[in-house]
């Protein structure tokens, strides 16, 4: 399952943030070394990723697509909204736990998402209708059974029935997906609560989710990376809780917030640096701790910092000189042949001026 997730997620490569300077890596390593607890979590996280190479590649893909891009503030706000609303976070996790274990339900959910990405301009116009249908599958069932009926509709759906009659394939797609939802008992108890929280309630999570969803409409491939990362995390719930805790903790640390994702990107660019750092810590400390820990993560303290690190456009270390390739000399341009000389006009002989006679004196 994870191999398929990874293959699909990497279908469209996210942009590379560019080279990361050595000075940033040194700052992050000093900040980690100053707090043994932070260093233990960092080494444990890397150890877990090394033991799960497919997951490590998926994490790197997600980091590049979201944490090191212009989407980073939106991702942070959504995750912090979940952290501030534990019950909503529980139903979000329950949603992905269910999709990871129920293929027919996952396929139906992804079918709806692909439909929305096929025409993003249309999706933006009818987002209130699509959101309402997700949060109210009973209304969706009645509307899809009789799209030309005279049933009373809420404001969010009044302009939607003509689309069902005129837009090719829309009615069949919706009927197929909502038919799966209706026949699957797990949908009502384990999947619908997240859609009702995400689309049916106006709160911090819904607002942050709407902003993130709008960004995904601009770049659908990043949604699939995010979606499949959540499916992969659902395969190891204990690791999911601690990975989530660790990155939230990082956002609360002055020396790490904004720069830690760049540091992880740096280590992926330079695996020898990662190996050297771990060997140094092994000499000074011990082997990495067992990670994730067996107990639940502790409560978070403080608020996430809003700063965001940026990958520099140029590295702060010297690049190797470009090799000098000998170039052939251009052949000399041949001399232009001289043209024939212009004929010289003959010189006209000059006629002597007549002698002027002086008038005779009287």
Would 362 be classed as within a structural domain? no
132 in Cβ contact with 158 (< 8 Å): no
Would 70 be classed as within a structural domain? yes
Can you state the percent helix, strand and coil of the chain, rounding each to 5? 60, 0, 40
236 and 184 co-located in one domain: no
Q: Which of 269, 293, 317 is the endpoint of a domain? A: 293
Digit-coded pLDDT (tens) for 297-321: 999 988 787 654 444 333 332 333 3
Would 301 be classed as within a structural domain? no
41 and 184 co-located in one domain: no
- Domain of residue 280: give its range: 21-85+203-293
Would 342 be classed as within a structural domain? no
Q: In 10 A of CB 289, how many CB atoms?
A: 14
Give the total number of structural domains in the chain: 2
147 and 287 co-located in one domain: no
Within 8 A by CB and 6+ apart from 361, the residues are none
51 and 29 co-located in one domain: yes
CA 7/CA 3 separation, integer angstroms: 6
Would 45 be classed as within a structural domain? yes
> What secondary structure letter does DSSP report for 160?
S
166 and 237 co-located in one domain: no
CA 66 to each of CA 63, 77, 81, 171, 264: distance values in angstroms, whole numbers, following the listed order: 6, 12, 17, 33, 14
pLDDT value of residue 202: 66
Digit-coded pLDDT (tens) for 25-78: 999 999 999 999 999 999 999 999 999 999 999 999 999 988 888 999 999 999
Please determine, for residue 6, whether its predicted confidence score (pLDDT) is greater than 70.
no
If you count them, how many residues does the chain have?
Answer: 362
Digit-coded pLDDT (tens) for 127-177: 999 999 999 999 999 999 999 877 889 999 999 999 999 998 999 999 999
70 and 217 co-located in one domain: yes
281 and 213 co-located in one domain: yes
193 and 221 co-located in one domain: no
Average pLDDT over residues 79-106: 97
* Torsions phi, psi for 8 (to 5 deg): -70, -40
Would 3 be classed as within a structural domain? no
pLDDT value of residue 325: 36
263 and 128 co-located in one domain: no
Closest residue by Cα to residue 152 from 165, 143, 164, 141: 143
Would 245 be classed as within a structural domain? yes
107 and 164 co-located in one domain: yes
80 and 214 co-located in one domain: yes
Q: Which of 184, 202, 220 is the endpoint of a domain? A: 202
Q: Which of 234, 259, 293 is the endpoint of a domain? A: 293
Digit-coded pLDDT (tens) for 269-305: 999 999 999 999 999 988 888 999 999 999 998 878 7
339 in Cβ contact with 290 (< 8 Å): no
Average pLDDT over residues 76-92: 95
The DSSP result for 269-301, as a single string, is H-HHHHHHHHHHHHHHS-SPPPSS-SSPPPPP-
CA 206/CA 204 separation, integer angstroms: 6
Residue 205 tokens, joined: 């999570």
CA 217/CA 205 separation, integer angstroms: 18
Would 167 be classed as within a structural domain? yes
Q: In 10 A of CB 89, how many CB atoms?
A: 17
Please determine, for residue 190, whether its predicted confidence score (pLDDT) is greater than 70.
yes
124 and 213 co-located in one domain: no
């Amino acid at each position: 399952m994870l191999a398929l997730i990874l293959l699909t997620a990497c279908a469209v490569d996210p942009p590379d943030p560019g080279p990361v300077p050595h000075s940033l890596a040194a700052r992050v390593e000093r900040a980690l070394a100053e707090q043994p607890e932070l260093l233990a979590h960092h080494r444990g996280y890397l150890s877990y990723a090394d033991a799960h190479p497919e997951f490590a590649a998926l994490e790197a893909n997600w980091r590049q697509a979201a944490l090191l891009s212009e989407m980073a503030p939106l991702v942070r706000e959504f995750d912090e909204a979940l952290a501030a609303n534990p019950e909503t976070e529980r139903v979000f996790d329950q949603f992905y736990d269910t999709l990871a274990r129920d293929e027919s339900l996952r396929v139906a959910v992804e079918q709806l998402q692909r439909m929305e990405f096929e025409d993003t301009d249309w999706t933006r116009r009818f987002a209130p209708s699509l959101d309402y249908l997700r949060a109210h599958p009973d209304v969706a069932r009645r509307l899809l059974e009789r799209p030309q009926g005279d049933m009373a509709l809420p404001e969010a759906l009044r302009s939607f029935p003509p689309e069902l009659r005129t837009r090719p394939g829309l009615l069949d797609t919706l009927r197929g997906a909502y038919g799966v939802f209706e026949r699957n008992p797990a949908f009502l108890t384990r999947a619908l609560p997240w859609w009702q929280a995400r689309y049916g309630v106006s709160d911090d999570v819904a607002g942050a989710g709407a902003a993130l969803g709008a960004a995904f409409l601009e770049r659908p491939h990043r949604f699939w990376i995010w979606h499949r990362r959540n499916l992969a995390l659902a395969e190891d719930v204990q690791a999911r809780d601690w990975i989530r805790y660790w990155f939230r903790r990082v956002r609360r640390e002055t020396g790490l917030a904004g720069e830690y994702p760049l540091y992880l990107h740096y280590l992926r660019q330079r695996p020898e640096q990662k190996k050297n750092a771990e060997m140094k810590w092994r000499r000074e400390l011990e082997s990495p701790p067992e990670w994730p820990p067996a107990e639940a993560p502790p409560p978070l303290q403080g608020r996430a910092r809003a700063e965001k690190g940026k990958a520099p456009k140029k590295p702060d270390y010297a690049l190797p000189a470009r090799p000098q390739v000998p170039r052939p000399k251009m052949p000399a341009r041949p001399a232009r042949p001289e043209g024939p000389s212009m004929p010289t006009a003959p010189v006209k002989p000059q006629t002597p001026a007549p002698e002027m006679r002086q008038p005779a004196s009287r």
